Structures are given as structure tokens and as C-alpha cells.
């Protein structure tokens, strides 16, 4: 590569956090077990060796899914999140040239504790923001107890990283016990990101906090491909409901829906798809796109190759500005 690069959305599982998860997990966690097998997920030195094949490449750390509220109960999740955040803070402090910061995880099945952990992680550990998932054990993020987290992040002027979380159950159709062919992940995650974004938009997220920064994973999910529907389709949304359901069409926004969706930020974590990167860039604009790989689930090299020729600010300057990092 010919320029510095900050990867804003990648994942890790530091050993102290893994040990804590094993001690309190409620059930088998296939996604967690799979993540542990990825090179560099748990071993910081191995991770650094993989990164150093790409001079100038740095990572903002975030914990891999599943989230604390899926792993354990509301009584245990606050301590679990604390252990994970302190472990990432240690990785960052001991290897600042590789990891200039981290994103805090929160115990979202304990909303009061989640607010406290966000304040602690940002104020005491130096977290750059928080990672939220698109639902909390099936509950949407537009509930008041979760909107309070967005309010706090707006007050602190720190970004929210938004990650999809749907599992293989329930299935795709009535009668299916599980989603077949990994479709829950391939299509389900981008769809869930978009549904969550829509719920937040019509909950007035950017009406209440217009300067709030929310970074959507995987180039904004399916949002960029829906530009026409967002621009014109909402004009007819009320007639699609039965007369007794028109209240579910949502409030009138002060701006057009397509403009509200355009206030999200997006990353380049597309498993090496330049087509998806270009769609995200076209919809959100170069000032609201950030470089990310989804490492170690996707390769650093393949993402850099696919991103070659994208606007220069996407690789580093946007991250420095949005995350309030020192310029290098």
C-alpha cells in the first residue's frame, strides 16, 4: 500500500474476555466458537504479525459477536463487558502504533449498567465510542432504554458502531426451525442493518441529535441499493396499511427519508466487493465512508485491493476526524 490506513471495523477476542465468557455463558455459542478459530482473533502478537505485512495499516479494536447480552444474564453481563473493554484497552495501550483505539462493548440486557459502562469505558479507559447490535435479544434499538445510549453518545460526541446480530433461528419461513444455506447471514445481516437503521430514522434519531455519528457495518447493509425506494417509495406508505394500522407509518420527518438515511456512515467491509463499496460511496458520500476489513473474518489484502482508487480520505483522514484521533 502507498498510504497509511485505519481499519475502523474489525474484531478481536482477548484471552481474559474469552475466559470470562466461558465461565458465564448460558448455552453453546457456535458463532463464538467459530470466531475463536480465526487467526489473530485472540493472539495479539499473531495479529500484529499479520498486520505488519501491510505497512501503515492500523486497527480500531472491537469485540467479536455474540454480544454480552447473548452470552449471559443481565446480572453477569456488566462484568463481562468490563473485562472485555479493559482487555482491549490494554491491547491498545501496549501496542498503540498498531491499535490506536478501541470500541467499547456494552451489557445491553442491563440498560442502566450499559450507560454506566459507556461512561466508564470512554471517560476512564479511553474508548473511542461504543458498539451496539441491531437488536437486543430480539428487542429493537428504538425502545426508550436504548435510545438513551444514543443520547449519551451525542452528548459525549462519540460515534456508535452498528453491527448486525441475527442468528440462524428463527427460520426464513413458517415451519422452518432454522434458516437454511446460511441465508440468515448472507442476506439477513444486511437486511437487519437496514431495518434497524429505518427504525432509528423514524424514531427521530437525527431529528433529536443531528450531529450524532452512527457507523453502519458492511457498507450500510442494503441501504444503498434501496435509494430509489427511499427517495420515492415512502410517498405511498400509508395506503399500504389497512385503515386500523395507519399509525404505524411513522411520524413525518423534517427532511426527506432518503436524506435521513444518508446521515449514517458506512464502512468498506464487503468481503472484497468493489461493487458494494462503490454503492456505499455513491449513497453516503466520500466524507461519510471509512475503511474497514471485518478482520479476521475477511482478509486485509483483499479489502485493500478492492478499495484501490477510492477517495483518499476514506483510508485515514475520515477516521481521524470522526474518531478524534491525532493526525499522522
The helix/strand count (H/E) of the chain reads as 15, 11
Sorted by sequence, the CB contacts under 8 Å of residue 110 that are 6+ apart come out as 69, 74, 75, 77, 78
Per-residue pLDDT tens over the stretch 240-282: 667 666 666 666 789 999 999 999 999 999 999 999 999 999 9
pLDDT at site 238: 54
**Contact assessment for residue 254 and residue 207, using Cβ atoms and an 8 Å cutoff:** yes
Per-residue pLDDT tens over the stretch 110-149: 999 999 999 999 999 999 999 999 999 999 999 999 999 9
Q: Rounded to whole angstroms, how far apart are CA atoms 80 and 19? A: 10
pLDDT at site 190: 95
Q: Which domains does the chain have, with CATH numbers?
A: 5-322 (3.20.20.140)
199: part of which helix (H) or strand (E)? helix 188-202
Q: Does the structure show a pLDDT above 90 at 152?
A: yes
Residue 137 three-state SS:
coil
Residue-averaged pLDDT of the chain: 94
Per-residue pLDDT tens over the stretch 159-215: 999 999 988 898 999 999 999 999 999 999 999 999 999 999 999 999 999 999 999
Per-residue pLDDT tens over the stretch 207-251: 999 999 999 999 999 999 999 999 887 765 556 667 666 666 666
* Averaged pLDDT for residues 273-302: 97
Q: Model's pTM, two decimal places?
A: 0.95
pLDDT at site 109: 97
pLDDT at site 252: 77
Amino acid at each position: 500500500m502507498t498510504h497509511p490506513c485505519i481499519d475502523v471495523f474489525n474484531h478481536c477476542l482477548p484471552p481474559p474476555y474469552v475466559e470470562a465468557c466461558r465461565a458465564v455463558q448460558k448455552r453453546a455459542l457456535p458463532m463464538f466458537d467459530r470466531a475463536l478459530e480465526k487467526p489473530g482473533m485472540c493472539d495479539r502478537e499473531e495479529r500484529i504479525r499479520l498486520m505488519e505485512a501491510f505497512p501503515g495499516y492500523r486497527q480500531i479494536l472491537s469485540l467479536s459477536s455474540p454480544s454480552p447480552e447473548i452470552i449471559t444474564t443481565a446480572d453477569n453481563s456488566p462484568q463481562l463487558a468490563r473485562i472485555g473493554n479493559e482487555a482491549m484497552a490494554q491491547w491498545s495501550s501496549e501496542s498503540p502504533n498498531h491499535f490506536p483505539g478501541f470500541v467499547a462493548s456494552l451489557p445491553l440486557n442491563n440498560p442502566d449498567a450499559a450507560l454506566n459502562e459507556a461512561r466508564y469505558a470512554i471517560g476512564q479507559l479511553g474508548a473511542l465510542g461504543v458498539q451496539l447490535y441491531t437488536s437486543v435479544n430480539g428487542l429493537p434499538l428504538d425502545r426508550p432504554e436504548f435510545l438513551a445510549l444514543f443520547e449519551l453518545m451525542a452528548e459525549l460526541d462519540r460515534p456508535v458502531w452498528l453491527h448486525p446480530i441475527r442468528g440462524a433461528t428463527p427460520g426464513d419461513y413458517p415451519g422452518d426451525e432454522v434458516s437454511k444455506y446460511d441465508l440468515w447471514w448472507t442476506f439477513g445481516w444486511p437486511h437487519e442493518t437496514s431495518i434497524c437503521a429505518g427504525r432509528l430514522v423514524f424514531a427521530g434519531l437525527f431529528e433529536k441529535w443531528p450531529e450524532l455519528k452512527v457507523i453502519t457495518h458492511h457498507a450500510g447493509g442494503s441501504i444503498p441499493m434501496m435509494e430509489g425506494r427511499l427517495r420515492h417509495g415512502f410517498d405511498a406508505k400509508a395506503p399500504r396499511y389497512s385503515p386500523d394500522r395507519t399509525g404505524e407509518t411513522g411520524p413525518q420527518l423534517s427532511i426527506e427519508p432518503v436524506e435521513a438515511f444518508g446521515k449514517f456512515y458506512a464502512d468498506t467491509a464487503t468481503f472484497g466487493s468493489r461493487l458494494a463499496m462503490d454503492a456505499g460511496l455513491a449513497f453516503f458520500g466520500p466524507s461519510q465512508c471509512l475503511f474497514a476489513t471485518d478482520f479476521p473474518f475477511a482478509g486485509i489484502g483483499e479489502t485493500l485491493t478492492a478499495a484501490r482508487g477510492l477517495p483518499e480520505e476514506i483510508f485515514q483522514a475520515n477516521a481521524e476526524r470522526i474518531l478524534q484521533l491525532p493526525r499522522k
